[in-house]
Structure 1
Amino acid sequence: MQSPFDTDLHLPFPILIGDIGGTNARFAILKDAYGDPRPFPIVQTADFPTIEDAIQRTVLDKTSIQPRSTILAIAGPINGDDIPLTNCPWVVRPRQMIADLNMSDVLVINDFEAQGLAVGSLADEHREPIGSATGETLASRVVLGPGTGLGVAGLVHAQHKWLPVPGEGGHIDVGPRTPRDYAIWPFLTPVNDPGAAIGRISAEELLSGRGVMNIYRAVCGAEGQSELFTQPAEVTSAGLAGTNAIAAETLSLFTTYLGRVAGDLALVFMAKGGVYLAGGISQKIVPALKKPEFRTAFEDKAPHSALMRAIPTYVVTHPLAALAGLAAYAQTPARFGLETEGRHWRG
């Protein structure tokens, strides 16, 4: 019986790899098992009615290389032959792609699994250390990415392989700890299930683009101040520049809460190999992350503070990290334990 992890799965080259988000789609072609992927211009998903149309017009019509298979990382659950994206009208239909695009194999995985694959293969030049801890190179790791939402994945190292563990860790509870937290928490809007009497504050409601705005509005409410900014980038820019006190506090609280959640996840996975911060927000606020608040919150996990001080933290700086992770898997699948059952289609 074939293992669902298919560590010896070798898809035929050339391989089309794709990172499909709610707003943008990124594609590249791997010609063989040795060369670097050839990237194509970033696609706005709203500009194309279907993923097949986007691939045909922006990839296949621009190259003489005909992919024989594809690996796609998508932002959405994978269940069945029709795979809708969470924040995009595209529906991935692997059997239709095999027929329409003349491919033999289609493999579809979660977008943060791809980030996990990247974290298992990144060179030092593509990660910016936050703090001085170095950690154990081959120990388990965690990746989390504040962006449109909060993506989370574990990367377990076992039996000489990296095993990505996707999940919905962005939806864990976050509660107040300090007097300042208790002052602003009443101004946060809780997440409510239908019929629930009491809502909750999830990590994603604080550690995302809208989370920046949620914290900013809560600080304004606690201070009795009018809101000057309407976009997350405005808040983070003013916070980094120090031109607005409430924006600066918002950014400080954001990095503090990110440190707390990152530390919790490090404990869950015993991530002695490090915690990696992915996504555009993390890359834009590196100067704030290098201030004491992030590492202080990360390490403040009594009775295990000494353990936490030894766990390194990084910002992923690779501009196409998910594609790099897919490429690493496509070229060296035996290094990874990737579950393929129900996610691999053959023509």
Structure 2
Amino acid sequence: MSYSEAPLAFPILIGDIGGTNARFSILVDAYAEPTRFPNVRTADFATIDEAIQQAVLDKTSVQPRSAILAIAGPIRGDDIPLTNCDWVVRPNVMISGLGLEDVLVINDFEAQALAIAAISDEHREPIGPARDTITASRAVLGPGTGLGVAGLVHAQRAWMPVPGEGGHIDLGPRSARDLQIWPHLVPLDGRISAEQVLCGRGIQYLYHAICTADGIEPSLKEPADITTAGLAGADKAAAETLSLFATYLGRVAGDIAMIFMARGGVYLSGGIPQKILPALQKPEFRAAFEDKAPHAAMLRSIPTYVVTHPLAALAGLSAYARMPGNFGVSTEGRRWRR
């Protein structure tokens, strides 16, 4: 492994590697549109190297010289396991086996942060009043399998992604209704974290807690069933689940906005915000986001958006690959070269 801030050489293989799906593209040069390849199910391939070879390299005559991979998992050492699948990213093996010269591995939510640096209006849906977007620090939250959080700090005329584990901050009750529901939520290691509620399984936990608090038998099982019934108003407990989910997400988003002083906006990424967009557009999300005395006026001035770009992480990685000088991405301990 070596440390270098030098730009990666084109063509560049770009990958967004999640627990269930992996998405790849190849960027031939700084001006070309990325060449997209069909999504890969991680369960269909024993290793990431096999997936890249069969699903990408065997389908094109372009031989990438470099790779930038965003992965859902901590990056420590030469063997990098993914959190929610059996793949292990081994950059040195990729270099020897796939003909690459240079491999950079970053956090998946770092890629989401890169994506919101210059996202266009067509790929974001405002929540609450539309405001002019200023060039200032931003933040992104992604309720999905878990709750990803990252900041994008603007300083020295560059965008600096700040990954972390913000989804594991504490989430506590505030209202009388919260106090009725909270004893029935499922704690993890003795506490309720934001991720325990603001994710796919969290929708289930919240729905069941509401039913238990009201002494009714849950009739819905899967998160998709709960969100569908809630959006349609077909189930009272499901409708309240979405209302409270939006409230709690607004509270956490407001906290993250203050932590990063995200005057440039807070962005909600991932599949869940897109699916429950009508619930987020109701007053509860913004009301909770802004309810941050003594800084309510500041929060009212911060815009919030749902990211609607279908491949936001790949777009963010491509932006970095084209113009690395515009971003303060740390490569130390995360870049391997031949």
Find 2:21's aligned residue among 6, 24, 30: 24
Which residue of 2 is the match for residue 93 of structure 1?
A: 90
Question: CA contact under 8 A between 1:146 and 1:207: conserved in structure 2?
Answer: yes
Residue in 2 that maps onto 1:276 = 267
Aligned match for 1:149, one of 134, 140, 146: 146
Distance 2:135 2:65 in 1: 33
Tell me whether 1:252 sits opposite 2:243 in the alignment.
yes
Q: Within the alignment, does 1:233 sit opposite 2:224 as a pair?
A: yes
**Matches of 2:115 and 2:67, distance apart in 1:** 17
Match of 1:325 in 2: 316
Shift of 1:234: 0.6
Letter in 1 for 2:218: E
| 1:207-237 Cα distance to aligned partner (Å, 9 max, x none) | 0001100100100100111111111111011
State which drifts further: 270-279 or 35-44: 35-44
Query: Which residue of 2 is the match for residue 49 of structure 1?
Result: 46
TM-score (norm 1): 0.96
Given that 1:27 and 1:59 are in contact with CA atoms closer than 8 Å, whether structure 2 keeps it comes out as: yes
Query: Aligned AA for 1:140?
Result: S
What is the rounded CA distance, in whole Å, between the counterparts of 1:34 and 1:287 in structure 2?
A: 37
Q: Indicate yes or no: 2:58 matched with 1:61.
A: yes
1:1-347 correspondence to structure 2 within 5 Å: 6=5, 9-134=6-131, 136-192=133-189, 199-347=190-338
Structure 1 residues 122-154: Cα deviation after superposition (integer angstroms, max 9, x where no partner): 111111110115255211000010000000000
- Number of corresponding residues: 337
C-alpha distance in structure 1 between counterparts of 2:32 and 2:118, whole Å? 15
Identify if the C-alpha distance between structure 1 residues 133 and 300 changes in structure 2 by more than 3 Å, giving closer, same or farther: farther
Report if aligned partners of 1:149, 1:207 keep a CA contact under 8 Å in 2: yes
Structure 1 residue 78: Cα displacement: 0.3
After superposition, the Cα gap between the structure-2 partners of 1:272 and 1:144, relative to the gap in structure 1 and judged at 3 Å, is: same
Kindly state the Cα deviation for residue 102 of structure 1 after the two structures are TM-superposed. 0.3
Q: Which amino acid aligns with 2:261?
A: M
Change (3 A) 1:5 1:201: farther
Q: Any conservation in 2 of the 1:5–1:339 contact (CA below 8 Å)?
A: no
Shift of residue 115, structure 1, vs aligned partner: 0.2
CA contact (8 A) 1:135 1:273 kept: no
Q: Which runs of 5+ in 2 are unaligned?
A: none
Q: TM-score, normalised by structure 2?
A: 0.98
CA RMSD of aligned residues (A): 1.1
